[in-house]
Amino acid sequence: MPNVQLKGVSKYFGRIKALEEIDLEIKEGEYVGILGPSGCGKTTLINCITGIVEPTHGTILIDGKNVANIPIERRDFAMVFQSIAIFPHMTVEQNAAYGPFVRNVPKQTRGEISEEMLRLVDLLEQKQLRPRSLSGGAKQKTAVARALANQEKLLILDEPISALDYKVRVSLRYELRRLVKKLGLTAVHITHDQEEAMSISDRLVILRAGRIVEVGTPQQLYEHPHTLFSMNFVGESNFLEGMIKQKRAQDSYRIEFRNNQYIDLQGLKGDFDQGESIILAFRPETMNYCSQEEDNALSGTILRKRFRGGYIRYEVKLLTDDLIIIDSQTLLEEKEKIFIQIDPYEARLFASPEFGLKKVLALE
Residue 160 as a binder of other proteins (CB under 8 A): the answer is no
From the CB of 312, what's the least distance to other proteins, in Å? 10
**Contact of 117 with 149, CB cutoff 8 Å:** yes
From the CB of 301, what's the least distance to other proteins, in Å? 18
Q: How far apart are CA 354 and CA 364, in angstroms?
A: 19
Residue 320 to residues 36, 75, 283, 289, Cα–Cα distance (Å): 32, 57, 18, 16
Residue 178 as a binder of other proteins (CB under 8 A): the answer is yes
Residue 108 to residues 60, 112, 150, 177, 235, Cα–Cα distance (Å): 37, 6, 15, 29, 49
Q: How far apart are CA 172 and CA 92, in angstroms?
A: 18
Q: How far apart are CA 343 and CA 330, in angstroms?
A: 18
* Complex with other proteins: residue 115 or 193, whichever CB lies closer: 193
Residue 219 as a binder of other proteins (CB under 8 A): the answer is yes
* Complex with other proteins: residue 99 or 284, whichever CB lies closer: 284
Interface with other proteins (CB under 8 A), residue from 141, 203, 208, 348: 141
Phi, psi of 200 (to 5 degrees): -105, -20
Interface with other proteins (CB under 8 A), residue from 146, 189, 203, 283: 283
* Complex with other proteins: residue 269 or 308, whichever CB lies closer: 308
Task: Identify residues 223-262 at the interface with other proteins (CB under 8 A).
Answer: 233-236
> Interface with other proteins by CB under 8 A: which range of 59-67, 142-150, 195-203, 256-264?
195-203
* Complex with other proteins: residue 12 or 311, whichever CB lies closer: 311
CA angle 348, 255, 342 (to 5 degrees): 50
Site string for other proteins, 313-342 (x = CB under 8 A): --------------x---------------
Residue 359 as a binder of other proteins (CB under 8 A): the answer is no
**Contact of 215 with 206, CB cutoff 8 Å:** yes
Interface with other proteins (CB under 8 A), residue from 62, 138, 157, 206: 138
Residue 194 as a binder of other proteins (CB under 8 A): the answer is yes
Interface with other proteins (CB under 8 A), residue from 303, 306, 330, 336: 306
> Interface with other proteins by CB under 8 A: which range of 14-22, 88-96, 132-140, 347-355?
132-140
| Number of residues in contact with other proteins under rule CB under 8 A | 45
Site string for other proteins, 15-44 (x = CB under 8 A): ----------------------xxx-----
* Complex with other proteins: residue 321 or 343, whichever CB lies closer: 343
* Complex with other proteins: residue 94 or 194, whichever CB lies closer: 194
Using CB under 8 A as the criterion, which residues of the chain lie in contact with other proteins when the complex forms? Answer: 37-39, 135-138, 141, 165-168, 170-172, 174, 177-178, 192-196, 198-200, 218-219, 222, 233-236, 283-285, 306-311, 327, 363-364
